[in-house]
Amino acid sequence: MALRFKKFIENITLTEAQWKDAKTKYEGVCACLDKHFYDSEYNENHKFLFGSYKLKTPVRPIVPEQDVDVLFRIDYSTYLKYQNNPGGLLQEVRKALKEKYTTTDIIKAWGKVVLIQFSDGTHNVEVLPAYEMYNGEFLIPNTENGGSWNVFDPRTPIKSFQDSNQSSNSLTQELTKMIKAWKRNTSTLEYKSYRIAEDVTTFVNNIYPDGADTGSYLSVIKNFFTYIFNRISSTDARYSHINTAKTRVDKAYQYEEDGKHIEASEELRKVFGDVFPKEEENDDNTKSIRSFTNAPSPWRV
């Protein structure tokens, strides 16, 4: 099982070329904005990466809705210029980007972001122009409800995730990717990436603070679904999806314990899709089943 989970993680982890492509895309966007707002070359201090590319948890294959989230720091004078017209800033960003990117690339501005959809069908970039305050939080323009500036603090969840990941020996990161693969394989499930990262962080901090070996990842997955299932309401839109995943993973665990690796991997492919590797062989020996109709009751002191 350890080898299969290792291969599974490998199958959903971005390749070096994909990481390079993401970097090229967001640096290109920020370089364009540097030219426009600062009349300078690309300055990496003006960008602040957040979301899954910061947490290193994006999964492949790359899909159209997969965005690199980046904040672009504006200076105080730009903030003052748009203090009473936040939507105007998004339009200026959009206009600046339109000058660089060709007509085949799509640039949209709405809500709080400007989205650049590249025609090559790979990474998109979602850029949020933001003014950094003295306390490290950001003010971001929001065009909804007549327009306003909202406080945005991406640093706290990033730190919490990274601390958990460090102490758990990368379990937080790997489990987040596995849960994202499940989400992707469950088309009607609504489970935002940031919420997955939050839930996984809480779970790992509580249950596996020191991490887990790849050999016990099936137990980790089983425990994650049981943990979440025990904490959500039956009215939660995720409830039935989590219940289904839990049942399938429990079944896979049972198969695995019985040495039926082929059946176990088939169950896990129902959960994660064909990114989970197939197993070709079962164990030869089968366990004998003990049946009992009477048993002492476990006792509580």
Partner 1 sequence: MACIVDRTDMEWILKMQPEMRYVDSHNAFVGTFSFSARYRDLELISDHYKLAILCNEFPNSPLPVVCEIGGRIARMSKILGIDTADLHVNGDGSLCIIRPDKFKLWYPNGFDIRIFERHLTTHLYWLSYRERYGKEPWPGEEHGGLYSFD
Residue numbers at the binding site for partner 1 (CB under 8 A)? 206-208, 223, 226-227, 230-231, 250, 254, 257-258, 287-293, 295-301
Closest approach of Cβ 48 to partner 1, in Å? Answer: 35
* C-beta closer to partner 1: residue 134 or 299: 299
Closest approach of Cβ 5 to partner 1, in Å? Answer: 18
Which amino acid, residue 226? T
Q: Sign of torsion, CA 119 123 125 126?
A: positive
Closest approach of Cβ 267 to partner 1, in Å? Answer: 14
**189-213 exposure pattern, b = at least 16 Cβ within 10 A, e = fewer:** bebebeebbebbbebbeeebeebbe
**2-24 exposure pattern, b = at least 16 Cβ within 10 A, e = fewer:** eebbeebbebbbbeeebeebbee
Rounded (10°) CA dihedral 234, 239, 243, 245: -170
Closest approach of Cβ 159 to partner 1, in Å? Answer: 24
* C-beta closer to partner 1: residue 46 or 246: 246
* C-beta closer to partner 1: residue 65 or 284: 284
Q: Are strands 106-110 and 47-50 parallel, antiparallel or unpaired?
A: unpaired
* C-beta closer to partner 1: residue 17 or 295: 295
* C-beta closer to partner 1: residue 190 or 213: 213
Closest approach of Cβ 126 to partner 1, in Å? Answer: 35
Check whether the bond before 64 is cis (ω within 30° of 0): no
Local structure of 44: helix, strand or coil? helix
Query: CA 98, CA 18: separation in Å to the nearest integer?
Result: 24
Residues 6 or more apart whose Cβ sits within 8 Å of residue 173? 55, 56, 57, 165
* C-beta closer to partner 1: residue 132 or 198: 198
Query: CA 83, CA 3: separation in Å to the nearest integer?
Result: 55
Closest approach of Cβ 286 to partner 1, in Å? Answer: 9
